Amino acid sequence: MSAQITAAHVALAVVAACRMTGADPQAVFGPAHGNKRTRLIAAAGLMTALKLKPRDVAGVFKVDRSRLAPSMLRNADIEADRLLNVAEALRNGGVLDGARPQPKAADADASARKPSPVQTRPDRPVAPPPAPPPPPPAQPPEPDRPRPAATNPVRSRPTPARSGAVETLKAVSDNMVRWSRIYLSRGVPIGDLADLFDVDVEALAGRLKPELARAA
């Protein structure tokens, strides 16, 4: 029996696909060619994650089921890595069977993902480190050189940047708030919703305080 597709599945798959193609999540179901490619990636990724058939996802994402065949995906240069990225986003969103529950604090999430320590092979003894070289003769201290000013970190996006364009976040509209309430009730994280609508997460959370309080 096929797994049931929910709004949370669709939203997380669309957000993950838009991050790879640069499409606007609010216009992803429009007629533009880039939007169709984004929907194909989202549909194929969800189909892979839930072990579904093309007919199960084609109508949801408004794509031809024949385009979801492995040979057609290869012809469209949709690599398996893109499908795995969508599946990983669904797993991290907690909407797959057997997915680990997502902690509420970012620090807890970071600690849960710490890499395991590397163990040395028992049949290869580790050689002792070489002795440090003798210290060089004392040199007069060099005058301080001016250091280049550090640049402010910019939120990285895996999508190609537009030449000469500056990324600006959109204002939170009533329509965004209405859809966000629906997605929140389905368990979609507030951070993914902010990425979906390309708005500031704090501004969106301010418009959804009652819903976030109930979900806490």
Q: Please list the pLDDT of the chain residue by residue as tens digits (216 residues).
A: 456 889 899 999 999 989 998 888 888 887 776 688 899 999 999 998 898 999 999 899 998 989 999 889 998 889 888 989 998 999 888 888 644 433 333 333 333 334 434 343 444 444 445 555 555 555 545 555 545 444 433 343 444 444 444 457 888 888 888 888 877 777 788 888 888 888 898 988 988 888 887 776
- pLDDT of 139 reads 55
**For residues 159-196, b (16+ Cβ closer than 10 Å) or e, as one string?**
eeeeeeeeeeeeebeeebeebbeebbeebbbbebbbbb
Angstrom CA distances, 94 to 65, 102, 162, stand at: 27, 7, 32
Instruction: Find out whether 18 and 25 touch, Cβ atoms under 8 Å.
Output: yes
Euclidean distance between CA atoms 37 and 11, whole angstroms:
16
- pLDDT of 144 reads 54
- pLDDT of 131 reads 53
Q: Give the three-state DSSP class for 199.
A: strand
Closest CA to 36 of 48, 23, 51: 23
Report residue 122: phi and psi, to 5°. -70, -25
**Which amino acid does the sequence have at 131?**
A
- pLDDT of 41 reads 93
Tell me the HSE value of 40 on the side-chain side, using a 13 A CA sphere: 23
